[in-house]
Amino acid sequence: MASEYLVEIRNLTYAYGPRPVLVNIDMAIPRGKVVAIMGISGSGKTTILRLIGGVIAAQRGEVLFDGQKVDPRARAQLYRQRRRMGMLFQFGALFTDLSVFDNVAFQVREHTDLPESMVRDLVLMKLHAVGLRAAHASMPGELSGGMARRVALARAIALDPALMMYDEPFTGLDPIALGVTANLVRRLNSALGITSIVVTHDVAEALKIVDYVYYLSQGRIVAKGTPEEMRANPDPLVRQFVYGQAEGPVSYQYPSRPIAEELGV
């Protein structure tokens, strides 16, 4: 029953409104690997994470988590599945009314009956893993952006999930914090035996730490492969993204009439 893949997405189509955001997506996330979903803003990366987490339901196709269908309508089953998933939100989404310690302890207290002394050991261990044990008494408002994200990471892994999802974990970090976070993603993956999905448009950093890449453009997977394969990919669409060129098949202009027509010349 246990397949090689922890998450499988089959022929999935999703639309928020009339226009589909994702079209016929097929994806397989192997156990124990770090997989990146890359693409420019608005290409549907976050939407994929929301589908895996069961926040929204696909109009067509299915998402399998550990062989079991993710279905937002089957609430009890979904909540059981979510206990085995962790999600790192872009800005951390720490509970602002709880201390760092209580944030990390949140899931432990909600889902287990562990005595407070064990909760304490567990929380400090997780904070230690992200290098922030000393900050356990702080409030989230006192942390820098990078620290808040690491605390959120400690909170997400508090109950040792099988799958970690990172939504743009590198955005808005200074180069040092960025390197620290990237290493952390990789290190936690091996240390805890997690499977990780990293959604990002930070190509350079992602290609250094991931095992496999899906490249998404306008709701379709246009390329996939190992980082080496991506770097060597001759497709101009991929080259433009990987090497960060302004000119190429993807225009930075919002789709519009030609400028000459707009100006009436």
Partner 1 sequence: MMFGRNALSLRGIGAHTIDALWRLGYATRFLGLTITHSGTSLRRPRLIIREIYYTGVLSLVIILVSGLFVGMVLGFQGYHTLQTYGSESALGVLVALSLVRELGPVVSALLFASRAGSAVTAEVGLMKATEQLAAMEMMAVDPIARVMAPRFWAGVISMPLLAAMFSAMGVFGGYLVGVVLIGVDQGTFWSQMQAAVDFREDVLNGVIKSCVFGVAISWIAVFEGYDAPPTAEGVSGATTRTVVTSSLAVLGLDFIMTAFMFQGV
Closer CB to Mg ion, 46 or 196, in the complex: 46
Query: Which of 38, 44, 70, 154 lies at the binding interface for ligand ADP (CB under 6 A)?
Result: 44
CB 130: neighbour CB atoms within 10 A? Answer: 23
- Per rule CB under 5 A, is residue 43 in the interface with Mg ion? no
Question: Which of 47, 189, 195, 233 contacts ligand ADP by CB under 6 A?
Answer: 47
Residue 215: CB minimum distance to ligand ADP, A: 12
| E strand spans, the chain | 5-15, 20-30, 34-38, 60-65, 68-69, 85-88, 163-167, 195-200, 212-217, 220-225
Q: Is 79 in the site for partner 1 (CB under 8 A)?
A: yes
Nearest to 197 by CA among 95, 50, 43, 40: 50
- Nearest to partner 1 of 91, 179 (CB atom): 91
Q: Which amino acid is at 209?
A: I
Interaction of residue 139 with partner 1, rule CB under 8 A:
no
Q: Which two tokens stand for residue 136?
A: 């356990």
113 binds partner 1 (CB under 8 A): no
Nearer to ligand ADP, 47 or 103 (CB): 47
Q: Determine how many CB atoms are found less than 10 A away from the CB of residue 61.
A: 17
Least separation in angstroms between CB 167 and ligand ADP: 7
Whichever of 36 and 157 has its CB closer to partner 1, that residue is 157
Look up residue 219 and give its DSSP letter.
T
Subset of 147-176 contacting partner 1 (CB under 8 A): 152, 155-156
74 binds partner 1 (CB under 8 A): no
Determine if 91 is a binding residue for partner 1 (CB under 8 A): yes
Q: In angstroms, give the least distance from the CB of 37 to ligand ADP.
A: 8
**Inter-residue contact 51 to 14 (CB < 8 Å):** yes
Q: Is 46 in the site for Mg ion (CB under 5 A)?
A: yes
Contact 45, 39 (CB under 8 A): yes
CA dihedral 18, 21, 22, 23 (to 10 degrees): 50
Rounded distance, CA 262 to CA 258, Å? 6
The residues that touch partner 1, with contacts defined as CB under 8 A, are 53, 55, 79-80, 82-83, 85-87, 89-91, 93-97, 106-107, 110-111, 152, 155-156
